[in-house]
Chains A and B, each alone.
Chain A
């Protein structure tokens, strides 16, 4: 198929429909409104259901219901809207329900502004809702990757019966790049996927006598039973940590003098600066985590070459992922951080200046 020039928000929506998503519930918010608009327009054309809920809280609970029925379901929002969904996300994780949640981040805290930011890293990777749980969190850096992650997110959600978040930002939502779409799943394939969860999901009880009765719940009043349940969740999380970390290496070699770490669109800006400095004879490597939970700690640690004198982390926040980088680096070399906030995005020149000061 030939490439089409598309906004990130629209591309991920189209890719989700291609991946078999036929249920989408959300409430509009900038800078992800093109996503909900695309779904409003296209869902009816594939026989799916689009519903603009009365609030983010309602939307995430509709997701709970649809996921409980074993169907591919998605919601999306931007930072303040994701906070509203946090309670529902904890319930979904507790009840082990597969679904996809997209966060097109904007400046915060509070209502903040509508420009790109990465201030929700802690919220996405360290909880956000209450209780001990984890979301699988994917951080795309291009429109193509954003679109590709839609089907990957659904597959991971189904595989582990766990909510998956795609952590994008306003820049990626608003920008256009060429996208190659994977072929859309056929009705038969979608029908078949619908049966994969029958061992636990809710479906019509045709045989009587509660034969197919399944309870989907995140309430367990007996602490002995709840401890067992949470332990089971943790065993699942350990499996995800062992099997599902993803990352990208850029110019990593034994002669690296500095190792730079950045995720999402910020990593693109950083890569421009790294390219320019390397062309001038420096040797800088760039590590980009693609999953931010599970975090690729070991893979990052392996990239600290013998000549690396420091690790430099750049984020569009006041320093959140840098904590995970410090865990990975484990005191081997100093870890530096610089970021911009409030929806301001650093330029390649600014990053270059920061890195030049290290030599």
Chain B
């Protein structure tokens, strides 16, 4: 079983972090993982994307061209990558940032006003956690428990309040993903 993921959005939205958390969780579950960012002379507001692969077998190409899952946090990301999602694959996107959505009918589309939901939870920072939750809710690429463990070890001492908001955000995303 191999899952290929692309996360894409504006620089500063935390799309690279989404990929990193998924790869980190996959690694903790004993899987092979790779994380390959786009890098270049970009600034906040420019485009950023990351290819992440989670697999039971050693990973050959870390470059993803036909993703099983696309997480899009802005409209240009949908234009660029959604046409390449494998039929039956998953598109997660933020309706607030992607007004035109996606016209494909042969993929599973999960959309929500992710940025506004993050504000409701109480922090702009949890946008990427809602998105990860949506992925976990729909697919079995990684487990919620791995995310919780990872976030707890990272944030428990440093910022317990943000930890709680992150976990609420993932659970909210999972509800949306399951729907």
Q: Tell me the A residues contacting B by CB distance below 8 Å.
A: 3, 5, 30-31, 114-115, 170-171, 174-178, 265, 268-269, 271-272, 275, 345, 347-349
**Are A271 and B60 within 8 A (Cβ)?**
yes
Q: In the complex, what residues of A have CB within 8 A of residue B61's CB?
A: 268-269, 271-272, 347-348
Whether B23 sits at the interface, judged by CB under 8 Å, is yes
Tell me how far the C-beta of B25 lies from the nearest C-beta in chain A, rounded to whole angstroms. Answer: 10
Distance in angstroms from A339 CB to nearest chain B CB is 15
In the complex, the answer to whether B35 meets A275 with C-beta atoms within 8 Å is no
Q: How far is the CB of B27 from chain A (nearest CB, A)?
A: 5
The 6 closest A-B pairs by CB, nearest first: A272-B61, A271-B60, A272-B60, A176-B35, A175-B36, A269-B61
B27 touches A114 (CB 8 A): no
Q: Is B171 an interface residue (CB 8 A)?
A: no
Candidate in B23, B35, B59, B65 with the most chain A CB atoms within 10 angstroms: B35
Considering only CB atoms and an 8 Å cut-off, how many residues of chain B contact the other chain? 20
- Nearest chain A CB to B87's CB is how many angstroms away? 16
Determine the residue in chain B with the shortest Cβ distance to A250. Answer: B60
Q: Does B172 contact A (CB under 8 A)?
A: no
In the complex, what residues of B have CB within 8 A of residue A176's CB?
20, 23, 34-36
Whose C-beta in chain B lies nearest to the C-beta of A267?
Answer: B60
- Kindly report which residue of chain B lies nearest to residue A114, judged by CB atoms: B40
A269 to B23, CA, bound (A): 19
Expressed in whole angstroms, the Cα–Cα distance for A167 and B133 within the complex equals 39
Quote the shortest CB–CB distance from A203 to chain B (angstroms): 43
Residues from chain A with a CB closer than 8 A to the CB of B34 are 175-177
Once the chains are docked, how many angstroms separate the CA of A349 from the CA of B61?
11
For the A-B complex with A175-B36, A271-B61, A348-B60 known, give 17 more contacts whose Cβ atoms are closer than 8 Å: A5-B33, A171-B36, A171-B62, A174-B36, A174-B39, A176-B20, A176-B35, A177-B35, A178-B33, A268-B59, A268-B61, A268-B62, A269-B60, A271-B60, A347-B61, A347-B63, A349-B65
Nearest CB to that of B27 among chain A residues?
Answer: A178
B49 interface residue (CB < 8 Å to A): no
Give the distance in Å from the alpha carbon of A347 to the alpha carbon of B60 in the complex. Answer: 12
Contact of B65 among A178, A268, A348 (CB under 8 A): A348
A176→B40 CA distance, assembly (Å): 16
The distance from the CB of B145 to the nearest CB of chain A, in whole angstroms, is: 17
* Interface pair A177/B33, CB less than 8 Å apart: yes
Across-interface contacts of B27 in A (CB, < 8 A) = 3, 5, 178
Neighbour of A5 across the interface among B20, B37, B59, B66, CB < 8 A: B20
Out of B20, B41, B60, B66, name the residue touching A114 (CB < 8 Å): B41
Residues of B within 8 A of A171 (CB): 36, 62
A5 near B63 with CB under 8 A, answer no
Q: In the complex, which residues of chain B have a beta carbon less than 8 angstroms from the beta carbon of A349?
A: 65-66
A171 CA to B33 CA, complexed, in Å: 15
B24 CB within 8 Å of chain A? yes
On whether A175 and B37 interact (CB within 8 A), knowing A5-B20, A5-B24, A269-B63, the answer reads yes
Cα distance, A317 to B40, chains bound together (Å): 20
- Name A176's closest neighbour in chain B (CB-CB): B35
Q: Quick one: CB contact mask for B87-101 with A, threshold 8 Å, 1 for yes?
A: 000000000000000
Q: Which of B27, B32, B60 has the most CB of A within 10 A?
A: B60
**How far is it, in angstroms, between the C-alpha of A115 and the C-alpha of B41 when the chains are bound?**
10
A-B contact pairs, 22 of them (CB 8 A): A5-B23, A5-B33, A31-B39, A114-B40, A114-B41, A175-B34, A175-B37, A177-B35, A177-B59, A177-B62, A178-B27, A178-B32, A265-B62, A268-B60, A268-B61, A269-B60, A271-B61, A345-B63, A347-B63, A348-B60, A348-B61, A349-B66
Query: Please, how many angstroms separate the alpha-carbon atoms of A204 and B151 in the complex?
Result: 52
Chain B residue numbers with a CB within 8 Å of A115 are: 40
Distance A177 CA – B63 CA, assembled complex (angstroms): 13
State the CA gap A134–B21 with chains docked (Å). 43
Bound complex: CA A175 to CA B65 (Å): 16
Q: Which residues of A contact B23 (CB under 8 A)?
A: 5, 176
Q: Are B37 and A174 in contact (CB under 8 A)?
A: yes
Closest to A274 in B: B60
Which chain B positions have C-beta within 8 A of A347?
61, 63, 65
CA–CA, A271 to B23, complex, Å?
21
Contacts of A174 in B (CB 8 A): 36-37, 39
Most chain B beta-carbon contacts within 10 A, residue among A31, A176, A347: A176
Which chain B residue has the least Cβ–Cβ distance from A4? Answer: B27
Residues from chain B with a CB closer than 8 A to the CB of A268 are: 59-62
Please tell me if the beta carbons of B40 and A175 are within 8 angstroms of each other in the complex: no
Cα A175 to Cα B34 with chains together (Å)? 7
CA gap between A271 and B61 in the complex, in Å: 7
